Structure 1
């Protein structure tokens, strides 16, 4: 039995750190804010030093809250956020370009003739969301110096001096061969990155080095990209099961087992994790704006924060004919139209803040429902339930809308911070190879189960209205 571990989830808007004891559960917790800059033209940037500061500050504070030593560290990361940096000094050479950033659209347009081949080789559609287009943009527009990598590589180097990435994070670049789980030389050629020095691709449960960033020397024994870490913590380990995490965006992942799957329905086929040399795969669908759309409503003064969703939304019985397509950073799976803009239709003089909140909940839930349909089509069988986690699952209004539009139960995790819990699980596996995945992952149970209340006809009507609004967006001027 391993002792407590420090699990750190470095996310878009903040870093969460937990001290997790195998017997007592979470015994210390802390967080540190991160403030990305949202700029014109769909650009989203953050100072990499702020990411590292947040990791160190949250980790140290969680250890102080726990008041006892830990045996190892696990780190989860944002996935598709990239930067250039000096591998000798560790100094960042650029800001980090955040996963939501759309500036590499021009590169994707230029490389469109390679899109089908790239999707077959890497499992990923050609889109600025993924790391490789951003990496190519940095090389063309900002600097040829140093190395250009995903943010986890820089963070791990800053913490331990190692130059590695885990297989699941590497799978978010569009440079990893989905079958061999190694870097694809032809994919690197397509993006003009053939001469790059690339990190070693390691298992999630690997002892990559030692860090003194949190105090006494600690081994870093677990690395995993954020959504796959949540997938593991939700115990979505058998084919045909799925989870959705509602954070800055909403991310639905379905386990497909030991063989890679190429989606025929607009999803991403990718590595779920590689543990002890064995690879598991998943299908992945994304909603680019979930909590970030709530923040947008907050910035407009419609609500004062996510905590208002239910109180404001419950002032009205429904959306009052308002349809909100929250494509504020483009549409991801299954449409893959990064040029799409959000829309709000059906407004009247009687439209209230409550109607807008209801419409936002329906808009997020409808996009997730499209992803569930795509998963069901790819797997050849419908999902019977959806496990969910993330900050927005605190909204009963959103979760009920999700159950209604899916027409299946929505099971809310009783354990908050699923991503950090997944990072803690792989840290334990890396520290003690005798542990099984089942032993390392916390027991899963729901804190609430939302059963569908709306009839199937009413749910279909709400989804049809949303899809009509999406169609109008996509058929209109870009």
Structure 2
């Protein structure tokens, strides 16, 4: 079968949809905004109706943009945020709560209560105890909001609204901390640990399993592809062999490294999780997170430092030669891997009367790039070999300043994807695999071609010095809150790559 597919990426700040033709590429595109509410106490919520409405609006807009070619669309694929959760009525499909977004920290105290279960849960599910993942949020909803209905990740609700089915894909299930990583099935032990024993959970399916039919976009179309967003981008970047890695710069930044058919539980602080399950065969990956990337840029924008938002990163940052001694730890929603200190807040140090907007922008770029470099080091440690290159995608890759800074601090080439919207393209490839079982992954995934390659322009010793300053700022930040970073980081603040 050679039909086009409608690929929908439901993200944190909006939904993007593409009509992807196997011969002509992207022939239609649409988008719709989503507006999360950022509330005191680290709470982040969104109206579930807004999530579903954005899916329908973006999908219909993409089909309209494709014009007459939309008649050739034969299937739909849906990517999702991963750790965003809500309670809902499985009979009517009506939400019973707002959706608690992946960035939300309200389950911090609940995680602290479960600290004695932390290592057992990590070995079982691959994930450390942290409010970032779905299970703590699900347990919080059950304690504080409602015992009615079902409580799931947002994808299960969206799929139910679209098709009436009650399913989730294996990779999204792996983001809950309720999945046995070895058997790729729900774990009774994990459910019991979170007080979720007896919950009705969605059936776990392959990413390319046809799960039902939807008329939400107009014509009746089978839903043949489901995959969590970062793993979809991993597939689109053709990071399919052990040892290769990608980083997506969106609301947060997410580095994933492929490990193949066996989960790898390392000591670096990275997460071990399912990359995808296709045709009954599971691939695994290592995953590291930076909670605030584009959201940190938006923060500077709201302060007036970047009048034009992310589009002004290069112009404002390029107005000065360096960060002017300013160090920015952009932990505006806490620090994720490899530190796992979600309780921290960000810090700006080295400010002076001569500090200007350009210095703040450069310090932000260095802070983001330094965190990603720490993740790359951690991945190399767990893999037992250094990374050779980093493939990147996402809106912030349009900033030459950020990408050059990333290459400098990594001391590795950074290859920028020529394919915008990699997540949508990844789930589009999965939908094609579900539509035509005779296709191979190599056939379904778009050819890889970087739009730009950034090579390091500074020496390894200068990169090590700049990263050491960042690590010192992190240590000072954690020490100020009563704990030392070296003690809490499994990576132990290892040396710079190169």
| TM-score tier (shorter) | over 0.9
SS in 2 for 1:336: coil
2:265 paired with 1:265: no
The whole-number CA distance in structure 1 between the counterparts of 2:293 and 2:442 is 31
2:457 paired with 1:453: yes
The total of aligned residue pairs comes to: 478
2:156 pairs with one of 153, 158, 164: 153
2:298 pairs with one of 292, 295, 304: 295
2:476 paired with 1:472: yes
Alignment of 1:42-441 (within 5 A): 42-67=42-67, 68-69=70-71, 70-304=73-307, 305-441=309-445
SS in 2 for 1:134: helix
SS in 1 for 2:210: coil
Q: What residue ranges of structure 2 are gaps of 5+ in the alignment?
A: 483-498
**TM-score between both structures, scaled by the size of structure 1:** 1.00
Report the CA distance between 1:390 and its aligned residue: 0.2
SS in 2 for 1:72: strand
Runs of 4+ in 1 over 4 A off after TM superposition: none
Residue matched to 2:448 = 444
SS in 2 for 1:392: helix
Report the CA distance between 1:263 and its aligned residue: 2.1
SS in 1 for 2:54: helix
Report the CA distance between 1:477 and its aligned residue: 2.2
Deviations 1:305-353 (A, max 9, x none): 0000000000000100000000000000000001111000000000000
Residue matched to 2:4 = 4
SS in 2 for 1:357: helix
The whole-number CA distance in structure 2 between the counterparts of 1:454 and 1:311 is 21
**TM-score between both structures, scaled by the size of structure 2:** 0.96
Deviations 1:401-432 (A, max 9, x none): 00000001000000000000001000000010
2:22 paired with 1:22: yes
SS in 2 for 1:339: coil
The whole-number CA distance in structure 2 between the counterparts of 1:454 and 1:162 is 53
The whole-number CA distance in structure 2 between the counterparts of 1:351 and 1:459 is 22
Deviations 1:63-120 (A, max 9, x none): 0000122100000000000000000000000000000000000100000000000000
The whole-number CA distance in structure 2 between the counterparts of 1:445 and 1:224 is 23
The whole-number CA distance in structure 2 between the counterparts of 1:173 and 1:2 is 35
The whole-number CA distance in structure 1 between the counterparts of 2:462 and 2:35 is 40
Report the CA distance between 1:2 and its aligned residue: 2.0
Report the CA distance between 1:132 and its aligned residue: 0.1
Report the CA distance between 1:178 and its aligned residue: 0.2
Q: What residue ranges of structure 1 are gaps of 5+ in the alignment?
A: none
The whole-number CA distance in structure 2 between the counterparts of 1:191 and 1:457 is 46
The whole-number CA distance in structure 1 between the counterparts of 2:51 and 2:404 is 34
The whole-number CA distance in structure 2 between the counterparts of 1:455 and 1:358 is 18
The whole-number CA distance in structure 1 between the counterparts of 2:197 and 2:345 is 34
The whole-number CA distance in structure 1 between the counterparts of 2:333 and 2:2 is 42
Report the CA distance between 1:195 and its aligned residue: 1.4
The whole-number CA distance in structure 2 between the counterparts of 1:235 and 1:263 is 23
SS in 1 for 2:28: strand
The whole-number CA distance in structure 2 between the counterparts of 1:264 and 1:461 is 25
The whole-number CA distance in structure 1 between the counterparts of 2:396 and 2:117 is 37
The whole-number CA distance in structure 1 between the counterparts of 2:204 and 2:479 is 41
The whole-number CA distance in structure 2 between the counterparts of 1:13 and 1:279 is 30
SS in 2 for 1:334: coil
